[in-house]
Amino acid sequence: RNNPNYLIHGPTSLGITIVSVRSEPIKNTPYIDPGFQWEYLRVSFMPPVSRQLTVVSLTMRPANDLSARSRIILNAPSLHRENGVSGPFQFNTLGSGDGLDWMFFANEALWDESLKRMTFFLREGMVLPKGRSATLHTNEGEFRLPVEMPANWDQLTVEVRSFDDIDEIIRATSVVQSTRVPHVRMFPYSELAYASPVSRAMTNVVLTFRTNRPMFVGTAIYMRLAGFQAEVIEVPIVSENKHYFKKGIAYFSLSDNILQLNVSRTIYSNEESVSVTLQNMHLPTSLYENDASLLIWNSDPDAERQVIDVSPEVRSSAVGPVKQFTRSQVAFDPQEPRMPANITFTIMPSIIFYQGDTIVLHLYGFLSTRSVIPLVGEDASRIAGGSGVWFPDQYMLLLIVAENQIISNEVPLVISIARETNFRLPDKLSRNDGILRIEGRGALINVEQIKKTPWLGDRKFVIDSRLVLEPVPDGWHTSVGLSPPSIEGELSLSVARLHFSMILNADVLPNSTIYIKLGAVTRDLPPNSVESQSGTIRISGSNAPLFVDESAQWQQLSNLLTVKVVHNVQISAGQRVRFFIERDQYFRLPYAMYPNDPSFMLEVPEAGITPQQPFNFTTRVSLDTKTFVRTDLYYNSRGSLANPREVVDVTLKFQPNVDLPPGCIIRLKLPGFSSPSERVPLRSPEDQIIGELDLSLVVRFATWSQVTQTLDLEVQPGPSIPRTALIVMRVLKEDGGFRLGANPLEPNDQRLTIAVIQNQIIREEPIKLSPRVVDRSFMMSEFDYFPPVINNPFLLTMRLQPTVNITSATDIIILLPGFRNALSKLNIQITGANRSYIKDAMGRWNQTSYELTLSVPLTNPIRAFSTIDLRIEEAQGFILPLALDANDTRITIRSVGNINPEPIKKSPMVGNGPANDHLFCMIQGEHGVRTTDPNCAAPDCNPPLTDPCSDVELKRCGCGLRSLEPLNITIKGFNLLPSDQLVFLPYSELCALESGRQGVLTAFSRPVRKVVSTDRSSVDYEGISSIETGHFRMCVVHDSKTYDVGRIVVRPACRAPLVMVDGTCVADCPKTKIPEAGGF
């Protein structure tokens, strides 16, 4: 009543300095009954240690009587019941003000785990009088304190409610006193620095840290420096504050990589950062930036091992992962799905693993009923207990490094699980399946795919995948400030809604990433948007919650959309997944697409579905397909002639009918081309033309592969290549250029192709315009002879097509070796349809040099690639030589100072077959003949040689004498064949086509072997013998024709003067016999 704290005063408009009535208490105020309340409240904890089990004590003294069965409620946020269960718990009043206080309360209280509060009940019929103090204690081991709690914390409140919990008797009131629960000492900040952050370097290590409370004498600081080494156990501290630590040293345990600093003087590291320098420690092979394997903690009970906040990266190599398993391999024997097998793991990390460190194998799909998996092999002893720990729910096998053991980064760890262990294989695995993963804990190596796994069971693939493109409503583009498509409601060039649907035949695990290549679309934000083209985009649909934050990541440069499965959800095989990207994410479609466009691809490496697989169905955006509207390739300047093997400037002009965004790779296939460098610079065109775009502004260098003979042009980050412009690419020979191939190229040669192989895929198609590339030669040179008979006059027809112009200054000269002119003509009349291209229609023949010269009129040159047909009639007296090969290279053509001599490309064979003047001598029964020179027929031998077995006759005709040993029968000729058949007939019979069908006569044996000379000018028939004597005609069946090649004389095997009679050598011939062949 009349509370003096209620005041009144009268200010004026002149401000606070001049008042009409000064401040004074209001003279009369009523009394307001405060109702039920507490006189005193206190909560204490014993012991008050962070995160420890404690006894909670509540001391209360009400200012009013509390009626029977009232609820006394202690609200204790962050307090935790050890068993985590809501329900009754026991308490006591030991040490309360009166030993009878227990009689006022029910024997059990209630704990609500969700509301974090205790409820005590007054007994029925008992009233707690005002002013009476009572203290209630929980039992030991019942409740655990939070990390920290300030003194007299106002969040600790006590209230009283009716038994039915409807009426509030005393509102929630903060306690007057409560025990402080100090935070466990921790490190709000910690940092490591190295004087020389080089792999395996010996260097000083600087630890900088702050703590939340002082580090008192007797406290220890621990660091787990995974992979570090030191040459001594007692590592010197060389910083100025070394006297704060016992003996100025730190103790290093190499076996578990733990460094211990014992505080000998209080360090007030809660007020300022402290830096400690440790001398000469060896850095590990590699460390991540802010590596989570570097830990720091202190000696307080339950002190948390904290990751050191800041630490630099240490790399063993400038490229590749910082840390990895350089070898990780699993092999099965036998490779039977769902069956037990001998399973061998080969593991070699890039860093050393010490005792207590763990290698974790994520083996999804493997099965075992055991929790401890025995290991076999020489290296099994390196794993604690010689066994791995299997967690079947997580498909995880833990390999813990045994005490006083290491896993080296130089020698692989090879361990096996025996088939008898009944560790079963999954139903299917792809080769090098990403679903099998490995990681390092302790000595940290981030999760990565096991590098080598065998194929097992059925193939993993996408059962069904669909991408449906839905046009937006008419007028929507204009409403958001975007340019509309050419026709409202069409997909071409439109911003659209993208619907995705997919079914896989393999499970997709939590945290796996699905990669979707959308090479044909780009993100086209409105001009006033502040978002980046790349980054996070929202996804919608029934299955969008399957993915982290219901969002995806878009990379504009690579046209790659990635969605990551949330950590607690698995996508099962056969489950259809649907989601869509709404139009307000501004994905714009191209002008044209293929049906089921290959620019849209799907890949899930972590589920073993790799490489990228095209969508089974994609919507078309228009009736047009993707193509290059114009492609025009030429060398040096337009219209100039390029020769094979020539180094040239290359210019290509092309225009796609779709935009090519950054990340697209345009591939040119240039067969036969070569370049001295793989990185080919692009240059600006010689003349800038309106409507043409210089490709070097977008692509500065191209990549040349000599193996595949392809040139790749990757569009760099920045503007897209527009479909409305003609793009010009130019490579100069001054920069190395390209050397054309040795083979000619036709006009618009179909082998020269262009494609886009990445992002906006355009299938390979021929370059539409390209010039002919040929040597200075006759592209066509064809001769024909009618009839092709040796030593006979014939009609010569010629068809020629030069690749360059032939003028009056560059005569055509044809070399015809062995040809003769029976009429001794020097001027040869030329006829034929194109005789007007030959001056005076006359050629000049030189019998000495065998050259025919054709001059071209001054006024009528032969144009490049024009075809001319010429004839030389039989009446001009030309006679063919004895033999000519088909396409005989001795016949050449040239144009003086213009085209070098080259063989005629096509001409018929002349004079092929065996010679006709063979003469052999054979001894009856011998395998072979005695003739050394079967073709000796001296023209001046008169009378001609008839007896090849007579040395007198042979000597008379100047032929070689008989051989002392049998020789093979050698038939000479021109272009003889292995199929040529030698036939022997009685000399009275003539060779005919039927002779070959009769085979070798019974008197002569078949040849054991036939050997054709390399120049096909002779055939040796080995091992032929005769059982009869006499004179025989020899025929050869060659190329379906029969030729008379001479005769063979078979003499009896009797020495002169004996003669053979009925198979017996006798001195005299009976009167009844007529001698046919004398003795040998």
Q: For residue 486, what pLDDT is reported?
A: 46
Dihedral pair phi/psi, residue 381, rounded to 5°? -70, -15
Q: Among 174-188, 361-375, 613-627, 899-913, name the most confident range.
A: 361-375
DSSP letter for 472, please: P
DSSP 944-965: PP--TT-HHHHHHTTPPPPPSS
Q: For residue 687, what pLDDT is reported?
A: 80
- Name residue, tokens 């989601």: 579
> Is the omega angle on the peptide bond into residue 301 within 30 degrees of 0, that is, cis?
no
Q: For residue 736, what pLDDT is reported?
A: 81
Q: Grade residue 320 by pLDDT with cuts at 50, 70 and 90.
A: confident
User: Per the structure block, which two tokens stand in for 735?
Assistant: 């920069």
β-strand partners of 503? 464, 576
Q: For residue 734, what pLDDT is reported?
A: 87
For residue 468, pLDDT beyond 60: yes
Q: Grade residue 321 by pLDDT with cuts at 50, 70 and 90.
A: confident
- Which residues contact residue 641 at a Cβ distance below 8 angstroms, ignoring those fewer than 6 apart? 771, 804, 864
Are the C-beta atoms of residues 238 and 204 closer than 8 Å to each other? yes
For residue 642, pLDDT beyond 90: no
Within 10 angstroms of residue 507's Cβ, the number of other Cβ atoms is: 19
- In this structure, the chain runs to a length of 1080
pLDDT digits (tens, 9 = 90+) for 428-444: 999 999 999 999 998 89
- Name residue, tokens 């005989």: 888
> Is the omega angle on the peptide bond into residue 901 within 30 degrees of 0, that is, cis?
no
- Name residue, tokens 């799907």: 602
User: Per the structure block, which two tokens stand in for 985?
Assistant: 């007939």
Are the C-beta atoms of residues 599 and 761 closer than 8 Å to each other? yes
For 283-299, give one letter per residue: b (16+ CB within 10 A) or e.
Answer: bbbbbbeebebbbbbbe
For residue 1001, pLDDT beyond 60: no
Amino acid at 509: L
pLDDT digits (tens, 9 = 90+) for 351-395: 999 999 999 999 999 999 999 999 999 999 999 999 999 999 999
Rounded Cα–Cα distance for residues 107 and 124 (Å):
12
Rounded Cα–Cα distance for residues 121 and 113 (Å):
18
pLDDT digits (tens, 9 = 90+) for 719-753: 888 888 899 999 998 888 899 988 888 889 999 99
**What average pLDDT does the segment 904-910 reach?**
89
Q: For residue 726, what pLDDT is reported?
A: 92
DSSP 822-843: TT--SEEE-BSTTGGGSGGGEE
**What average pLDDT does the segment 295-312 reach?**
91
For 69, 227, 233, the CA distances from 401, given in Å and listed in that order, are 60, 14, 22
For residue 308, pLDDT beyond 90: yes
β-strand partners of 387? 374
Rounded Cα–Cα distance for residues 397 and 805 (Å):
79
Q: Grade residue 331 by pLDDT with cuts at 50, 70 and 90.
A: very high
For residue 6, pLDDT beyond 50: yes
> Is the omega angle on the peptide bond into residue 611 within 30 degrees of 0, that is, cis?
yes
Q: Grade residue 815 by pLDDT with cuts at 50, 70 and 90.
A: very high
- Which residues contact residue 99 at a Cβ distance below 8 angstroms, ignoring those fewer than 6 apart? none
Rounded Cα–Cα distance for residues 710 and 159 (Å):
83
Decide: helix, strand or coil at residue 244. Answer: helix
User: Per the structure block, which two tokens stand in for 1042?
Assistant: 């029969």
Strand ranges in 816-903 using DSSP code E only, listed in sequence order: 820-821, 827-829, 842-846, 851-854, 868-872, 878-879, 892-895, 899-903
Q: For residue 614, what pLDDT is reported?
A: 92
CA 43 to chain centre: 66
Q: Among 23-32, 417-426, 616-625, name the most confident range.
A: 417-426
Rg (CA), the chain: 52
Q: For residue 800, what pLDDT is reported?
A: 95
For 31, 683, 704, 767, 961, the CA distances from 680, given in Å and listed in that order, are 97, 10, 7, 20, 73
Rounded Cα–Cα distance for residues 297 and 212 (Å):
12
By CB neighbour count within 10 A (0-12 exposed, 13-18 middle, 19+ buried), where does 734 fall? exposed
User: Per the structure block, which two tokens stand in for 724?
Assistant: 């409305």
- Which residues contact residue 880 at a Cβ distance below 8 angstroms, ignoring those fewer than 6 apart? 785, 788, 789, 790, 791, 792, 794, 818, 819, 910, 911
When comparing pLDDT for 1029 and 939, which is higher? 1029
Rounded Cα–Cα distance for residues 764 and 471 (Å):
29
- Which residues contact residue 508 at a Cβ distance below 8 angstroms, ignoring those fewer than 6 apart? 514, 565, 570, 571, 604, 606, 607
> Is the omega angle on the peptide bond into residue 1057 within 30 degrees of 0, that is, cis?
yes
Q: Report strand pairing: 294-298 vs 306-307.
A: antiparallel
Decide: helix, strand or coil at residue 550. Answer: helix
Query: HSE on the CB side for 310, CA within 13 Å?
Result: 11
pLDDT digits (tens, 9 = 90+) for 938-980: 667 888 888 888 888 888 888 888 898 999 999 998 888 888 8
Q: For residue 550, what pLDDT is reported?
A: 92
Q: For residue 476, what pLDDT is reported?
A: 47
Q: For residue 16, what pLDDT is reported?
A: 60
pLDDT digits (tens, 9 = 90+) for 165-216: 888 899 999 998 899 888 888 899 999 999 998 988 999 999 999 998 899 9
Are the C-beta atoms of residues 425 and 364 closer than 8 Å to each other? no
For 488, 951, 1036, the CA distances from 1029, given in Å and listed in that order, are 104, 19, 21
Dihedral pair phi/psi, residue 584, rounded to 5°? -75, 5
Within 10 angstroms of residue 768's Cβ, the number of other Cβ atoms is: 16
By CB neighbour count within 10 A (0-12 exposed, 13-18 middle, 19+ buried), where does 521 fall? buried
pLDDT digits (tens, 9 = 90+) for 472-486: 664 545 554 555 554
Nearest residue to 727 via CA among 663, 654, 660: 654
**What average pLDDT does the segment 581-593 reach?**
88
Listed range (19-33, 176-190, 896-910) with the worst mean pLDDT? 19-33
For residue 571, pLDDT beyond 70: yes
Decide: helix, strand or coil at residue 1035. Answer: strand
Rounded Cα–Cα distance for residues 306 and 310 (Å):
12
For residue 29, pLDDT beyond 90: no
DSSP letter for 996, please: H
Decide: helix, strand or coil at residue 867. Answer: coil
> Is the omega angle on the peptide bond into residue 1075 within 30 degrees of 0, that is, cis?
no
Amino acid at 101: D
Query: HSE on the CB side for 262, CA within 13 Å?
Result: 10
Say what percent of the chain tops pLDDT 70. Answer: 95
CA 1000 to chain centre: 67
